[in-house]
Structures are given as structure tokens and as C-alpha cells.
Amino acid sequence: MATFLISHSLTSTPIRRRLISSSSHFRAITLCLRHSISSRSTSFSTSRIFSSMTAVEVPGSTSKVSDRGGSDILHFVKYQGLGNDFILIDNRDSLEPKVTADQAVNLCDRNFGIGADGVIFAMPGINGTDYSMRIFNSDGSEPEMCGNGIRCFARFIAELENIQGNKSFTIYTGAGLIVPEIQSDGKVRVDMGQPVLNAPEIPTKVPANKDGAVIAAELIVDGTAWIITCVSMGNPHCITFGSKQCQTLKVDDLNLSEIGPKFENHTMFPARINTEFVQVFSRTHMKMRVWERGAGATLACGTGTCAVVVAAVLEGHSERKCTVDLPGGPLEIDWKEEDNHVYMTGPAEVSFHGSVRL
């Protein structure tokens, strides 16, 4: 098993790496570990929640996730879906998360923890489902669901259960029943269910302007009149293709860290909001950037991408089947007219396995 101990010195800054498997693999494993960790800007350092050692296993190890013992050790697998990264925890023996929201904040810290956009727990099924899923965001809040996270969840379950080939699961989430399917090419197709457009259910206080929905409505944010559509995919989204002053966005020009929080915490969104800024290239191709509630700017957002296509159709910008480019890569979205369900297809990949003493 290719396992490292990342040793945290309490008296010196440098991190000492000590190989505890065959030394003949040192160079190859070090390079793989460096790629897995450094490419995600993850830094392991002294932390209030860590002991002096964290074990990290690089991709390709033959050991199983569930085989690593020690009751005081938290074992995890780091996954990413288009750069939206998560710490996955095998919690199938309990409906109580193995870490608290405060511990999740520390684990997600990219300077003093593992580094992630959130912590996801694979739990026993509820109400006849195969599994249930809970998430803590990097700020400790708990969202109803996460589209990229559900794809990572499906791949994690396949690893835990040693499942090969095509397979679908039923997963209970805070947004209801979600059904992901692992495909033969390794991508995950997810039935994300029906979009919710009724304003109070999203929830938003923006006055409904079309059959109870908020579609191409005006919202004043920091003195600018933005044109927005509100959609829930089990969690709330505000989608904008532009403002009255600038009807065609160039999303790469946005100062997301400045404008994003002003949408997220706007008084018109009592549960806060995820916000997607969208640039339309054609009726089947768009580009978006997202400011996620509780996580900030991320490289991808699955539910947000689904909401973007719904909003684009409602505003007349696109067809129901589209490719949406995100900073982390593209997702394929299909809002099917026959059942009103939104289907999302995209990748989910393991970054590394690890263990941490809480």
C-alpha cells in the first residue's frame, strides 16, 4: 500500500514526508502525491484538529477504503467533480455524521486542513432508498443537495461496494430522492428531478411575475438593475444573463468575489442564494461562473448548471439540451419535456485517500 505520513512539526515550518511502504517506490509515489495535492492547492500543516500525523494514500493503491482501522482515526477519500472537491466519509453505519460542522470547517481549510469545498457523508438509506447523503459546506452550513457532490458520492459508493460497470442508486438527500447512474465511460448521469419555480418554495421574496415564478425579473444589487430568474433544484439559485445596463455578460470580466456575496446575502433571499452568471454562445452552448452559498467561488456547481439551463429555456436563450462550460470543465444538461426532469452528466474522480486524527 502506497501510504505516506505527512508529519507536522510543532517547532519547525517544513513538512517532513516519511514513506512507510517500500522505499523503492519513493520517487514515483512522491511525484504522484505532489500532483494530487499541489494541483489542488492543498497544504498540510499544523492544525487545531489534527494530531502530528496525517496519512495520505495516492491513487492506485489496492487497499480498500473500509479496511483502514483505528477508532480515533477518520478515514476519507478526496474526490473532485470538475474541480469542485469534496472529502468523502464512509458513514454507512450511522445517520449521525462522524465529524461536526466545526470540524468540517477545519478539514476544508486549504491552508491548515485537507482542503475542500465540503464534506460529504455516505449514510444508510432512508424511506427505502439505497443510501442517504448529507453535506457540510466549507463554512459549516448544510445545503440540501450538491450536484457535483452527488456524482462524487456515486463513485465513492462504487469504490466502497466494489461495483463494476453501469449501476444506478437511489439516494435520499435534503432535496428529496436523487438517482445517479454510473456509466460505462466512468461519467455519472444524474436524474436531478423537477425544477421548482414557485417563488415562496425557492425561497425568494422577489415578486413573482409569471404564474407564481420569478422569470427575467429585476433585482437591484449594489445600485445595478440585474435581470434574474429564480430556480430551485432542491437548493435555491438566482440566474442572471445580464443587467439592464449590460444585457450580454462576459463572465470572465466579473469581479466574482465582490458581486457574489451581495447576491448571496441579499434581503430578497431569506435562505441566502447560489448565484450563476451566464454568457450565451449559442442555443446549445453557454458558459457560467458561480458564487455558491456557503462556499463562495467554486470551479463547478452541478445544481447551478441545471438551474442555468432551466432559466435559459424560460427566458428563451437556449434549447433544453445544452453544454455548459464551467471553470473546471463542461457539463451536459438535458431538461426533458416528457417528464420535466433535469438530467446532468459529468465526471467525478478520486484525488487521494487519507486518514486524519481528530
Per 3-state DSSP, the chain is made up of helix, strand and coil in percentages (nearest 5) of: 20, 35, 45
Evaluate the CA torsion angle 356, 39, 33, 78 in order and state its sign: positive
State the catalytic residue, choosing from 108, 230, 238, 301.
301
Listed residue (92, 334, 338) closest to 190, CA to CA: 334
Q: Which residue has the cell 463547478?
A: 300
CA distances from 278 to 254, 263, 308 (A): 11, 15, 8
Active site residue 230: no
Active site residue 246: no
Cα maximum dimension of the chain: 67
- Separation of alpha carbons 284 and 276, rounded Å: 17
- Separation of alpha carbons 205 and 269, rounded Å: 6
What is the 8-class DSSP label of residue 199?
A: G
- Separation of alpha carbons 316 and 329, rounded Å: 24
Neighbouring CB atoms inside 10 A of 284's CB total 12
State the catalytic residue, choosing from 108, 146, 152, 230.
146
Residue 195: cis peptide before it, omega within 30 degrees of 0:
no
Cα within 13 Å of Cα(135), Cβ side: 26
Q: Which residues pair with 274 in a beta bridge?
A: 237
Which helix (H) or strand (E) segment holds residue 341: the answer is none
- C-beta of residue 163 within 8 angstroms of C-beta of residue 177: no
> Which are the catalytic amino acids?
146, 301
